[in-house]
Amino acid sequence: MAAEPLFSTTAPRSPEPDETTETEVRRRLLDATEEVVRKVTLAKLSMADVARAAGVARGTLYRYFESREVLLDAALTRTADRFFTEVALAMDRRSTLSEQLGEFSRMQIRSIHPEVEHGASRDALFYQLQRGEGTQALRRTAKFLIPYLEAARVRGEIRDTIDVLDAGEWLARILLSFSVFHASMSYEATDPESVSSFVQRYAIDGLSAHEPASG
């Protein structure tokens, strides 16, 4: 009878999802979702494609995300967190609300037209997701802008009587409109700097410290 080898001669087995932590599996599935969206667009994304890209069974995917809607909601939340973190860093370097909104729009145009500036492919996913989940994108953007509006009110850049919740939604709708309308007669729609300049000229006129003329 042949002696058994001291060491296995077979290659180590790749760890299955249940042998990794919950966080690692979730990250792996969301990474795969981003990869699939970039390749086939949001409209064509399927749970089967995501499972295949992640190298897991569909049952594993459904165990973490019970439906396509739940998966996309999680993907949007993660990409939005990443996008808004980067936008906040850029906006915080500016001293006025007008300049800050210009920074927001500049980075948004990078996400809409990633071909304009090298290295913006990750942001392009946020653009696709925010178009598919418009209500959540509007709510998240409006909430994000409120601290900047409050600071501008303290500085006297906007009226001290202004409702920052209303103003946040107004500005969010203006900024997100660039995701819908890609042509312009007044600025170069694919140029982040051109769009930024356009936003800075007009975005906060209705919020300025001077009351709008009546009649």
pLDDT at 11: 39
Q: Are 61 and 47 in contact (CB under 8 A)?
A: yes
pLDDT at 207: 74
pLDDT at 71: 94
**Residues paired with 36 in a beta bridge:** none
Question: Do 100 and 178 sit in the same domain of this protein?
Answer: yes
Which residues, including other chains, have CB under 8 Å from residue 29's CB and lie 6 or more apart? 50, 54, 56, 61, 64, 65, 71
pLDDT at 143: 95
pLDDT at 106: 86
Question: Do 56 and 91 sit in the same domain of this protein?
Answer: no
Question: Do 103 and 163 sit in the same domain of this protein?
Answer: yes
**Residues paired with 208 in a beta bridge:** 158
Tell me the CATH number at 38: 1.10.10.60
Question: Do 109 and 169 sit in the same domain of this protein?
Answer: yes
Instruction: Classify residue 45: in a domain, yes or no.
Output: yes
Question: Do 52 and 100 sit in the same domain of this protein?
Answer: no
pLDDT at 215: 42
| Residues in the chain where the model's pLDDT stays below 70 | 1-20, 113-134, 179-192, 205-206, 209-215
pLDDT at 125: 60
Instruction: Classify residue 53: in a domain, yes or no.
Output: yes
Which residues, including other chains, have CB under 8 Å from residue 192's CB and lie 6 or more apart? 105, 106, 107, 109, 110, 113, 116, 117
Domain of 187 in residue numbering reads as: 72-207
